[in-house]
């Protein structure tokens, strides 16, 4: 179906403040701008790169588990000693750390967003000036060209071959030709030509802003890590509620203990079921990742994009601007059909002056053939802007002698017949990695849909592209990490293949015009091939979809307007900071320094986050499992809960809280693997069951060993020793592979516990006192057996899981 302007919503002008009185040539005056600003007719939709401070505080403070722990903390402070309420102070500290770290990340994001923010050109007082998007007022005249995003609604007042893609708003892929008087919608972008439009709706009245706060801007990245943690917390809640109810009844009703002691032991059983630090550490890990990447001039527009790129197994690369630098150099001219070289140079110089926004190829021609000779007497009478779909541009001139003619400049294999001998020369040049454009005299009018048919070849323009010095190393890194690279370009396939070969990327070069249309068939070809040339913008999008349909997680890099649709559909879109405004708007990651070499840092940061959170999640959930198991065993056995809150606060701090913080931020180069929940629970459940069972065995042995008034404290101390030793072995397993600092971390936590056992006043504070020698050594023996069982179970699990 062909999309027409009739499908677009009409641009409505505020009848109280007509904007048509302003001259499109001069734009608003300073007085008119001030008047509109005073009336609030400003484009005040904020470009938000992250949550506000209020949202950060709310997200970190007002959580389901904070509410549960907060209530338990208040109860504990009322009925028990202050040391039994230490867990509440730990939660406050953790929440504060989370807020501070996310606030730091927000400031980094916001400062980088300002650097990468679009600065549209508006006409004011007869002068074209660049301003921030938020400074646009109703009635402003904005100039637009290829690659620009339309940031507010308006009416076209000038058009020079202007074509606008509205697919992000309407779903229609065909570009829409705009003429004076036609509406233009915010959220669309220019794919060819240029022009100007006058703003008729700004701020939250604009069409894109009405689409759920610019939902057209980017597709949210799915985070398996966050989704998995939410799933785990849901399961924890289901387990915790009935277990906690049973424990409360057991300790307050069945056991005839003092009320304060019963409440404290009940709270001590409930609190450790909550993996309260898991969400915090995930947020902190993401936030610190954003800050680290920000220092490398990498703008992460969505935090989970760090994780997403680490899971990517296929990266689609646009050659121009990604593997090659934006600039080119003209290295030669090849005359065809006996053409006069001096005349050809004049034609090229005139073509260079015909486009106010030249692309990289035309800029190279402008640099090589300046319009300082006969071309100054040529007058442009018509233009055909370059389009990625057409693969050529053109202009018509009235020459100095009064004659007229139209010229085309574009891809030889598109403009020439298949049997034309010039294609053989083009092929030889392409094999050397050179880019070749054909200059041809048009045989049809430029506004003819088939303007290229019958064109008379005149000369080949040979261009040399500048390879990015960091591209080869980056491609090598992806190959080492098992990420397949696919070069997708609009250029000639042979030329693109030669460039890829220079960078060490071998593989068959495929002409995309011969690709099958079906998604399954296209996906099969894409799996086999490495380099694809003559790809249209719609094909780039189809290729991303075909790869995804075969189970691949796809990243797409690009900098041109022809990459926008593919960037939006890819799992992760990566744009260059110097690229078009439209590509930066839809990408999740923007490389502000235009360095392709930054991508390995993003992948490494994502792998650090995923690998480390998987480690520490196991630590937290082992505690949850053994806490639930202990509570169930206590309820079934009708005995006192073995621990007070202070005991589990000490254990959690030394075996989980402090170590997890360091482990979550440590370097980690492990490959990101799927099924986060399954992987974590595979280790946490047996670890928690072994730790809980061993602790309860020691507790029962201690109950039969000790008698007298202080028996409960001695029993608790023995159980605490067993639980601490087993938890330390869990930590020792999680900390592998060992480095000096990991060994020091584990040793320091063990040393801290020994200090508590050795210092009398700390014994009193934490109610820990080992009595006699038989039972403490029994507790150690149980812990040793449990740790051996745990080691065996985890090694077996490792083998079944493939490491």
Catalytic residue numbers read: 318
- CA distances for 159 relative to 145, 167, 175, 178, 583, angstroms: 10, 20, 14, 7, 22
Pairing state of beta strands 554-558 and 314-317? parallel
Cis peptide bond N-terminal to 698, omega within 30: no
| Neighbour count for residue 297 (Cβ, 10 Å) | 17
- Radius of gyration from C-alpha coordinates of the chain: 34
What lies within 8 Å, CB to CB, of 513 at 6+ separation is: 534
Q: Do the Cβ atoms of 326 and 320 come closer than 8 Å?
A: yes
- CA distances for 572 relative to 566, 588, 606, 671, angstroms: 10, 6, 13, 17
Q: Do the Cβ atoms of 166 and 190 come closer than 8 Å?
A: no
Torsions phi, psi of 632, nearest 5?
-65, -45
Name the residue among 282, 288, 308, 287 with its Cα closest to residue 223.
Answer: 308
Name the residue among 486, 489, 529, 488 with its Cα closest to residue 509.
Answer: 529
Helix, strand, or coil (residue 760): helix
Distance CA 119, CA 129 (A): 9
Question: Burial, 619: exposed, middle or buried (Cβ in 10 Å; 0-12, 13-18, 19+)?
Answer: buried
Here the tokens at position 739 are: 């480095």
Distance CA 571, CA 589 (A): 11
Pairing state of beta strands 141-145 and 189-201? antiparallel
Q: Do the Cβ atoms of 21 and 117 come closer than 8 Å?
A: no
The per-residue DSSP string of 557-575 comes to: EE-SGGGHHHHHHSSEEEE
Burial annotation 434-443 (CB, 10 A radius, 16+ → b, else e): bbbbbbbbbe
Distance CA 598, CA 617 (A): 29
Here the tokens at position 130 are: 């660049």
Helix, strand, or coil (residue 667): coil
Here the tokens at position 283 are: 């947020």
- How does DSSP classify residue 654? I
Query: Is the dihedral angle over the CA atoms 292, 298, 302, 304 positive or is it negative?
Result: negative
Pairing state of beta strands 153-165 and 435-441? unpaired
Q: What is the dihedral of CA 135, 138, 140, 146, to 10 degrees?
A: 80
């Amino acid at each position: 179906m062909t999309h027409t302007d009739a499908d677009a919503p009409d641009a409505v002008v505020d009848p109280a403040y007509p904007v048509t009185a302003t001259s499109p040539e001069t734009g608003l005056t300073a007085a008119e701008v001030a008047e509109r600003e005073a009336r609030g007719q400003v484009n005040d939709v904020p470009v938000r790169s992250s949550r506000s401070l209020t949202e950060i505080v709310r997200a970190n403070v007002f959580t389901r588990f904070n509410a549960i722990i907060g209530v338990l903390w208040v109860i504990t402070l009322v009925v028990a000693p202050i040391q039994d309420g230490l867990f509440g102070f730990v939660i406050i500290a953790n929440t504060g750390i989370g807020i501070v770290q996310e606030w730091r990340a927000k400031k980094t994001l916001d400062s980088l967003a300002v650097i990468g923010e679009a600065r549209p050109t508006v006409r004011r007082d007869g002068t074209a000036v660049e301003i921030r998007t938020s400074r646009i007022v109703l009635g402003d005249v904005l100039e637009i060209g290829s690659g620009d995003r339309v940031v507010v609604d308006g009416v076209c007042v000038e058009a020079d071959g202007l074509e606008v893609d509205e697919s992000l708003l309407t779903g229609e892929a065909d570009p829409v030709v705009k003429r004076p008087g036609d509406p233009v919608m915010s959220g669309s972008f220019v794919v060819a030509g240029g022009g100007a439009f006058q703003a008729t709706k700004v701020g939250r009245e604009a069409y894109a802003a009405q689409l759920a706060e610019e939902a057209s801007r980017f597709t949210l990245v799915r985070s398996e890590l966050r989704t998995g943690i939410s799933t785990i917390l849901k399961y924890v809640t289901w387990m915790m509620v009935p277990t906690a109810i049973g424990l409360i009844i057991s300790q307050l009703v069945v056991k005839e203990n003092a009320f304060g002691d019963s409440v404290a032991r009940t709270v001590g059983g409930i609190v450790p079921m909550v993996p309260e630090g898991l969400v915090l550490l995930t947020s902190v890990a993401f936030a610190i990742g954003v800050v680290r990447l920000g220092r490398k001039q990498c703008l992460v527009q969505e935090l989970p994009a760090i994780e997403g790129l680490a899971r990517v197994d296929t990266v689609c690369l646009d050659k121009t601007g990604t593997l090659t630098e934006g600039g080119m150099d003209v290295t030669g001219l090849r005359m065809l059909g006996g053409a006069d070289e001096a005349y050809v140079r004049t034609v090229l110089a005139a073509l260079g002056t015909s486009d106010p926004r030249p692309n990289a190829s035309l800029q190279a021609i402008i640099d090589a053939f300046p319009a300082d000779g006969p071309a100054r007497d040529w007058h442009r009478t018509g233009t055909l802007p370059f389009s990625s779909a057409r693969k050529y541009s053109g202009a018509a001139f009235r020459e100095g002698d009064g004659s007229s003619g139209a010229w085309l400049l574009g891809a030889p294999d598109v403009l020439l017949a298949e049997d034309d001998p010039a294609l053989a020369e083009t092929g030889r040049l392409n094999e050397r990695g050179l880019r070749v454009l054909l200059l041809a005299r048009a045989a049809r009018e430029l506004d003819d849909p088939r303007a290229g048919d019958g064109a008379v070849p005149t000369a080949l323009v040979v261009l040399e592209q500048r390879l990015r010095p960091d591209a080869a190393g980056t491609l090598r890194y992806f190959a080492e990490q098992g990420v397949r690279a696919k070069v997708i370009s609009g250029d000639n396939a042979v030329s693109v293949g030669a460039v890829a070969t220079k960078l060490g990327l071998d593989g068959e070069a495929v002409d995309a015009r011969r690709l099958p249309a079906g998604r399954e068939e296209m996906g099969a070809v894409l799996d086999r091939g490495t380099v694809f040339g003559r790809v249209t913008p719609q094909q780039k999008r189809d290729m991303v979809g075909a790869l995804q349909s075969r189970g691949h997680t796809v990243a797409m890099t690009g900098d041109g307007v022809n990459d926008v649709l593919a960037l939006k559909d890819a799992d992760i879109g990566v744009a260059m900071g110097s690229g078009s405004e439209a590509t930066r708007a839809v990408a999740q990651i923007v490389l502000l320094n235009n360095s392709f070499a930054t991508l390995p840092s993003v992948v490494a940061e994502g792998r650090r986050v995923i690998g480390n959170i998987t480690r520490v999640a196991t630590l937290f959930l082992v505690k949850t499992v053994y806490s639930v198991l202990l509570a169930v065993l206590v309820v079934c056995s009708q005995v006192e809960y073995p621990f007070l809150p202070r005991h589990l606060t000490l254990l959690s701090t030394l075996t989980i809280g402090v170590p997890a913080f360091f482990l979550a931020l440590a370097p980690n180069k492990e490959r990101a693997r799927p099924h986060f929940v399954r992987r974590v629970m595979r280790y946490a459940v047996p670890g928690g069951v072994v730790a809980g069972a061993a602790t309860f065995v020691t507790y029962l042995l201690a109950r039969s060993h000790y008698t007298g008034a202080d028996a409960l404290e001695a029993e608790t101390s023995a159980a605490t020793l067993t639980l601490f030793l087993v938890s330390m072995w869990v930590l020792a397993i999680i900390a592998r592979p060992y480095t000096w600092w990991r060994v020091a971390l584990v040793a320091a936590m063990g040393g801290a516990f020994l200090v508590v056992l050795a210092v009398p006043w700390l014994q009193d504070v934490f109610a820990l006192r080992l009595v006699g020698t038989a039972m403490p050594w029994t507790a150690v023996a149980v812990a040793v057996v449990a740790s051996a069982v745990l080691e065996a179970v985890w090694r077996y699990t490792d083998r079944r899981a493939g490491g």
